[in-house]
């Protein structure tokens, strides 16, 4: 039996009454977190530029384009909101998928749920299904997939979207199989575009493509059921012969569900996850010694694992997007300010004289032999050497929120949502949206819920002139 068929059977078998409550609760966290990241991202250049070439309407579309009151087709809303969800790099990740998982799914799920008038519980179950699909296919292709330069957020995430939307819209096994097989031809995205607007375009495109595969499968569109294992199919094309493990997709399916264990990784800082351990190490030093003055520092050393450093070694970032992938910048900012926040990735923040002074003294290198135990791939150490000759250092093995075993406290995640949403919504709407998300499993109509997130033209104009 083709792999797409076997995955489809498992997706269709998922029901609210046979899924652990913890899985649905984590889905609710993911929806809240992703929505917050999306609302905070809508004013960034990438989604704003994309919106200039997408047809949106004040009344005629199926789904809300966040940040205003305009609507687009479900496919275009998934695209636009998907770009906004990821542009700040503040959204969650899934270790086994090797990328950002909810940012690809939630925009597609909300757009489809609005178009087809589904409920909150439907979205939560669908998110569980998509999460498992993306994570398990990710297990089959890593580490070779990402080492080759593919961006798993989109090249694997498209299956998460297809699985999620198939479950949301109650596709049959045959239709779900087709949507998954079709998605092998819709997977795209390379790591060469990290640090640019195109990285977030990967997410929007993935959200749109996965949903499109599902909508086409509903209408009888066809695809080769053997598109994963075919000699010219997904595994061989993306990884190469002998560089994938197809058997891993099903060997641990649902035992436990990946969304429960190890769970998603959530972010407290709006930058690449590979910078988070060194940020926390720097913040530990600030908590112990207070913020540092650039002129008092002779040298800063940051050690992270070589795979983490490969895409975060940017000694002189020139843009906010580049700074999100600069461990040097993130560590310097943490030492100077005692925090790393959204405003720190605005262009003026990069040009601050004290920051530039310290940035030139930050040295980022891979872990030294024996510095950390095997398997501590997200461990980091930061050492600050002062001009008086004294030195202080701190180590972090894994950042807070890396797995469900060391979660960020719920009140901190809710505060993150409120902070993000407040960038585009008035306080009353932020509060109403947060309350609805707290009880999302009993929201009868996502269509009605999305109206809580509409922003009037007057509010948009005020925001642009602020």
Span 73-113, pLDDT tens digits: 999 999 999 999 999 999 999 999 999 999 999 999 999 99
Task: Please report the pLDDT score of residue 461 as a whole number.
Answer: 54
pLDDT at 36: 98
Peptide bond into 222 cis (omega under 30): no
Three-state SS at 142: coil
In a domain, 466, yes or no: no
- 194 inside domain: yes
Instruction: Taking residues 321-326, report their average pLDDT.
Output: 93
What does the alpha-carbon distance between residue 271 and residue 333 come to, in Å, rounded to a whole number?
Answer: 12
Residue 222: which CATH number? 1.10.4100.10
Pick from 399, 367, 400: nearest CA to 381? 367
Residues 72 and 196 in one domain: yes
Reply yes or no on whether the pLDDT at 194 is more than 60: yes
- Classify residue 344: in a domain, yes or no: yes
The verdict on residue 117 lying in a domain is yes
Last residue of one domain, picked from the residues 378, 396, 414: 396
Specify the pLDDT at position 13. 98
**Which of 374, 396, 418 is at the close of a domain?**
396
Least trusted range by pLDDT, from 53-62, 194-203, 423-432: 53-62
Residues 284 and 191 both lie in one domain: no
Q: Are residues 263 and 282 in the same domain?
A: no
Contact 298, 322 (CB under 8 A): no
pLDDT for the residue numbered 459: 63
Residue 59 is predicted with a pLDDT of 65
132 shares a domain with 228: yes
Tell me, yes or no, whether 465 lies in a domain: no
Note whether 188 and 258 are same-domain residues. Answer: yes
Whole-prediction pTM: 0.90
Give 466's pLDDT tier (boundaries 50, 70, 90): low
Q: What percent of the chain has pLDDT over 90?
A: 92
Total Cβ atoms within 10 A of residue 231: 9
Residue pLDDT, tens place only, 266-311: 999 999 989 999 999 999 999 999 999 999 999 999 999 999 999 9
Whether the predicted pLDDT of 458 surpasses 70: no
Domain range for 259: 3-267+404-460
My answer on whether 214 and 308 are in the same domain is no
Of 205-209, 341-345, 374-378, the poorest mean pLDDT is in 374-378
Is the same domain home to 413 and 428? yes
Claim to verify: residue 283 and residue 213 sit in the same structural domain:
no
pLDDT digits (tens, 9 = 90+) for 227-279: 999 999 999 999 999 999 999 999 999 999 999 999 999 999 999 989 999 99
- pLDDT bracket for residue 321 (50, 70, 90): confident
> With 70 as the cut, is the pLDDT of residue 457 above it?
no
pLDDT confidence band for 369 (50 / 70 / 90): confident
What is the mean pLDDT of the segment spanning 9-24? 97
Residue 462 pLDDT greater than 70, yes or no: no
**Residue 92 maps to a domain:** yes
Same domain, 133 and 248: yes
Compute the average pLDDT of residues 53-63: 82
Nearest Cα residue to 417 out of 436, 403, 430? 430
Q: What is the C-alpha separation between 380 and 382, in angstroms, rounded?
A: 7
Domain co-membership, 102 together with 207: yes
Are 380 and 301 within one domain? yes
Which of 364, 396, 428 is the last residue before a domain boundary? Answer: 396
Paired with 301 in beta bridges are 363, 383
Has residue 460 got a pLDDT over 70?
no
376 burial via Cβ count (<10 Å: 0-12, 13-18, 19+) = middle
Does 373 share its domain with 419? no
Distance CA 244, CA 239 (A): 6
Residue 343 lies in a domain: yes
Contact 302, 371 (CB under 8 A): no
Number of domains in the chain: 2
Q: Residues 189-195: what's their mean pLDDT?
A: 94
Identify the CA nearest to 41 among candidates 80, 74, 99.
80
CATH number at residue 360: 3.30.1330.120
pLDDT at 56: 84
* Upstream peptide bond of 405 is cis (omega within 30 degrees of 0): no
Asked whether residue 200 is domain-assigned, the answer is yes
């Amino acid at each position: 039996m083709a792999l797409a068929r076997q995955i489809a059977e498992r997706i269709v078998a998922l029901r609210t009454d046979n899924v652990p409550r913890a899985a649905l609760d984590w889905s609710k966290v993911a929806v809240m977190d992703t929505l917050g990241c999306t609302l905070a991202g809508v004013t960034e250049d990438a989604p704003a530029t994309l919106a200039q070439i997408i047809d949106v309407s004040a009344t005629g579309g199926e789904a809300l384009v966040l940040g205003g009151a305009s609507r687009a087709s479900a496919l275009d809303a998934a695209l636009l909101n998907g770009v906004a969800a990821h542009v700040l790099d503040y959204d969650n990740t899934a270790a086994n998928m090797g990328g950002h998982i909810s940012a690809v799914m939630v925009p597609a799920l909300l757009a489809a749920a609005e178009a087809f008038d589904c409920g909150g519980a439907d979205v939560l179950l669908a998110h569980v299904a998509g999460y498992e699909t993306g994570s398990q296919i990710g297990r089959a292709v890593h580490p070779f997939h990402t080492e080759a330069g593919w961006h798993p957020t989109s090249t694997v995430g498209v299956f998460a979207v297809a699985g999620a939307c198939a479950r949301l819209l109650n596709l049959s096994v045959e239709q779900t199989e087709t949507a998954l097989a079709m998605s092998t031809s819709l997977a795209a995205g390379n790591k060469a575009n990290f640090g640019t607007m195109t990285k977030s375009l990967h997410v929007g495109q993935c959200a749109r493509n996965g949903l499109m595969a599902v909508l086409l499968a509903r209408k009888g569109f066809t695809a080769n059921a053997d598109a994963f294992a075919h000699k010219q199919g997904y595994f061989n094309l993306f990884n190469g012969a002998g560089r994938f493990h197809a058997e891993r997709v099903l060997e641990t399916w649902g035992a436990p569900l990946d969304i429960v264990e190890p769970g998603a990784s959530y972010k407290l800082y709006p930058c690449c996850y590979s910078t988070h351990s060194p940020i926390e190490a720097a913040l530990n030093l600030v908590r112990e010694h207070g913020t540092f003055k650039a002129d008092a520092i002779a040298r800063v050393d940051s050690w992270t694992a070589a795979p983490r450093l490969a895409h975060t070694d940017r000694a002189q970032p020139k843009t906010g997007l580049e700074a999100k992938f600069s461990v040097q910048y993130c560590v310097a900012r943490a030492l100077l300010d005692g925090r790393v926040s959204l405003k720190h990735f605005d262009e003026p923040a990069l040009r601050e004289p004290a920051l530039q002074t310290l940035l030139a003294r930050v040295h980022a290198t891979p872990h030294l032999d024996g510095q950390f135990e095997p398997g501590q791939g997200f461990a980091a150490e930061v050492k600050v050497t002062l001009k008086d000759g004294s030195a202080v250092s701190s180590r972090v093995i894994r950042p807070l929120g890396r797995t469900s075993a060391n979660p960020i406290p719920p009140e901190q995640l809710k505060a993150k949502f409120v902070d993000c949403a407040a960038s585009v919504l008035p306080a009353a709407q932020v509060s109403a949206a947060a309350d609805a998300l707290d009880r999302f499993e009993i929201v009868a109509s996502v269509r009605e819920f999305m109206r809580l997130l509409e922003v009037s033209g007057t509010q948009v104009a005020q925001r642009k002139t602020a």
